[in-house]
């Protein structure tokens, strides 16, 4: 077999125009409505016609029976490049990777990457019951529906192996709540104390209430294009230095203690020409705090098993020693379905162009954003990461 080809850089590819459609706890609007809102916001703010958007990447859990192709008629667009990415929390990274290569190859000039979901009173339960064939046939019928039971298993196993305590997870959740207090549409609007975290009702031991995200409705989006296109539109932009993506890694692990990031992490940093201590902030996918701790390890900020000590020795607010999930992440802002996979990317771009909705990370010039998604019972199958830099 021939040796693997050298990956090409993302020279001249930029990310711009971060957009959030403010979240609501419940919505009677459809996923199509939320996705349409974010696409309209992107075109209006960039002063583009819909016909100027010749690439479209869509992520949504509640879009069915439509897919991305159905949306083209709903929205009146005729893209020459189209992708539907049902990968949950890694959808943002995957969309970014694919869009960047499409732009680089000339298959599209301007790609809109959008994600959004509605949240009716009963839609979250329906999503959980039909999340995957594994969930449908082997989990939900036995009363273990949803991610809470799966992440309880993963969390307990991690605690047993590496000595993590609930107080360690609390440091992550409390800091993210502090970061979210300046975000006007955050679901969680009150400061969280250690006593409140520790006393919260159990959901699936050892997962308690504040370890869980708040399902909601909302949408996120951004544009990917060439640098000269962004300049012609007078849009501030950030550079894409490197990315990785991996699915179904470490299949021999009985219960997940690491994700696919660990397979490709050297490539992520070498392609960017940076080391972990060079980035100014980090956005992880945070459906549960144990996965945040795993990402700290697998992204190279500490060794496997050192996550608890790393958390104990750092502060994670925006002016802390390790600024993390600077908008509050899903644990405090809310999880708007598949839009949760774009939340960190959108916030990262805002921070790097100097336009955060909340508190700015001082002198931020580069960051790493990671995604994680598609839980079965004992593991999440998908992971990815990207390194971005101020232009």
Q: Give 88-98 pLDDT, tens digit per residue.
A: 999 999 999 99
Joined together, the tokens standing for residue 305 give: 């098993």
Quote the CA–CA distance of 60 and 41 in Å, as a whole number: 18
Percent of the chain's residues with pLDDT above 70: 94
Summarised one tens digit per residue, pLDDT across range 99-114 is 999 999 999 999 999 9
Residue 191 CB contacts under 8 Å (≥ 6 apart), including other chains:
177, 178, 181
Residue 125 has pLDDT above 90, yes or no: no
Residue-range domain boundaries for the chain: 13-122+217-232, 144-213+238-390
Query: Band of the pLDDT at 11, cuts 50, 70, 90?
Result: very high
With CA atoms as reference, report the closest residue to 282 among 308, 302, 303.
Answer: 302
Quote the CA–CA distance of 203 and 156 in Å, as a whole number: 13
pLDDT at 198: 98
The mean per-residue pLDDT over the stretch 168-192 comes to 97
Quote the CA–CA distance of 375 and 249 in Å, as a whole number: 13
pLDDT at 377: 78
pLDDT at 136: 66
Summarised one tens digit per residue, pLDDT across range 266-295 is 999 999 999 999 999 999 999 999 999 999
The mean per-residue pLDDT over the stretch 10-30 comes to 97
The runs of H, that is alpha helices, within the chain are 31-46, 68-75, 91-105, 123-129, 133-134, 147-162, 166-180, 194-199, 227-232, 261-272, 289-298, 307-312, 329-333, 340-353
Query: Band of the pLDDT at 376, cuts 50, 70, 90?
Result: confident
13-122+217-232: CATH class? alpha beta
User: Are both 13-122+217-232 and 144-213+238-390 of the same fold?
Assistant: yes
Joined together, the tokens standing for residue 377 give: 């019972």
Query: Band of the pLDDT at 2, cuts 50, 70, 90?
Result: confident
More confident residue, 127 or 344: 344
Query: Band of the pLDDT at 341, cuts 50, 70, 90?
Result: very high
Q: What is the pTM of this model?
A: 0.95
What DSSP string describes 251-293? TT-SS-S--THHHHHHHHHHHHT--GGG-SEEE---SSHHHHH
Percent of the chain's residues with pLDDT above 90: 89
Residue 133 CB contacts under 8 Å (≥ 6 apart), including other chains:
none
The mean per-residue pLDDT over the stretch 41-47 comes to 98
Summarised one tens digit per residue, pLDDT across range 347-374 is 999 999 999 999 999 999 999 999 999 9
CA-CA distances (angstroms) from residue 390 to 112, 229, 236?
A: 20, 17, 9
State CA 379 to chain mean position distance: 17
The mean per-residue pLDDT over the stretch 188-195 comes to 97
Quote the CA–CA distance of 9 and 23 in Å, as a whole number: 35
pLDDT at 90: 97
The mean pLDDT value of the chain amounts to 94
8-state DSSP, 80? S
Which range has the worst mean pLDDT, 8-12, 53-57, 132-136, 261-265?
132-136
Query: Band of the pLDDT at 138, cuts 50, 70, 90?
Result: low
pLDDT at 27: 96
Residue 139 has pLDDT above 80, yes or no: no
Query: Band of the pLDDT at 375, cuts 50, 70, 90?
Result: confident
Residue 135 has pLDDT above 70, yes or no: no
pLDDT at 350: 98
pLDDT at 359: 96
pLDDT at 145: 63
What DSSP string describes 301-323? SS-TT-HHHHHHT---STTSSS-
Query: Band of the pLDDT at 129, cuts 50, 70, 90?
Result: low
Query: Band of the pLDDT at 120, cuts 50, 70, 90?
Result: confident
With CA atoms as reference, report the closest residue to 209 among 220, 196, 227, 218.
Answer: 196
Residue 309 has pLDDT above 90, yes or no: yes
Q: Does domain 144-213+238-390 have CATH number 3.40.640.10?
A: no
pLDDT at 311: 98
Query: Edge-to-edge strand order for the sheet containing 81-84?
Result: 81-84, 55-59, 110-117, 217-226, 13-24, 237-247, 380-390, 366-375, 281-283
Joined together, the tokens standing for residue 101 give: 């290569």
pLDDT at 140: 67
Which 3 state secondary structure label does DSSP give 15? strand
The H or E element spanning position 391 is: none
CA-CA distances (angstroms) from residue 215 to 71, 186, 198?
A: 24, 12, 22
Quote the CA–CA distance of 156 and 377 in Å, as a whole number: 14
Which 3 state secondary structure label does DSSP give 379? coil
């Amino acid at each position: 077999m021939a040796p693997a080809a050298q990956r090409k850089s993302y020279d001249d590819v930029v990310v711009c125009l971060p957009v959030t459609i403010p979240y609501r706890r419940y919505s009677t609007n459809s996923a199509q409505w939320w996705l349409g809102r974010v696409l309209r916001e992107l075109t209006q703010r960039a002063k583009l016609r819909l016909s100027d958007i010749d690439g479209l990447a869509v992520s949504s859990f509640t879009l069915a029976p439509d897919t991305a192709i159905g949306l083209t008629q709903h929205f009146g667009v005729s893209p020459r490049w189209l992708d539907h990415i049902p990968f949950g929390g890694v959808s943002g990274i995957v969309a970014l990777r694919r869009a960047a290569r499409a732009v680089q190859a000339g298959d599209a000039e301007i790609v809109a990457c959008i994600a959004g979901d509605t949240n009716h009173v009963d839609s979250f339960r329906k999503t959980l019951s039909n999340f995957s064939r594994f969930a449908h046939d082997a989990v939900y019928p036995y009363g273990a529906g949803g991610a809470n039971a799966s992440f309880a298993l993963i969390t307990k196993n991690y605690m047993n192996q590496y000595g993590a305590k609930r107080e360690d997870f609390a440091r992550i959740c409390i800091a993210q709540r502090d970061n979210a207090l300046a975000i006007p549409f955050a679901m969680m609007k009150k400061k969280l104390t250690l006593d409140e975290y520790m006393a919260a009702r159990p959901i699936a031991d050892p997962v308690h209430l504040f370890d869980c995200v708040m399902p909601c409705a909302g949408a996120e989006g951004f544009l990917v294009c060439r640098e000269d296109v962004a300049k012609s539109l007078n849009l501030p932009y950030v550079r894409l230095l490197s990315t990785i993506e991996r699915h179904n890694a470490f299949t021999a692990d009985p219960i997940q203690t690491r994700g696919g990031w660990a397979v490709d992490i050297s490539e992520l940093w070498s392609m960017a020409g940076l080391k972990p201590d060079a980035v100014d902030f980090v956005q992880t996918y945070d459906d549960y705090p144990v996965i945040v701790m795993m990402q700290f390890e697998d992204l190279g900020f500490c060794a496997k098993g050192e996550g608890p000590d790393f958390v104990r020795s750092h502060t994670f607010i925006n002016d802390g020693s390790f600024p993390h999930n600077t908008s509050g992440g899903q644990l405090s802002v809310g999880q708007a379905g598949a839009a949760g996979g774009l939340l960190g990317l959108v916030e990262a771009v805002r921070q790097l162009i100097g336009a955060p909705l909340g508190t700015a990370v001082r002198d931020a010039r580069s960051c790493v954003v990671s995604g994680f998604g598609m839980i079965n019972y004992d593991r999440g199958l998908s992971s990815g990461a990207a390194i971005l830099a101020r232009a």
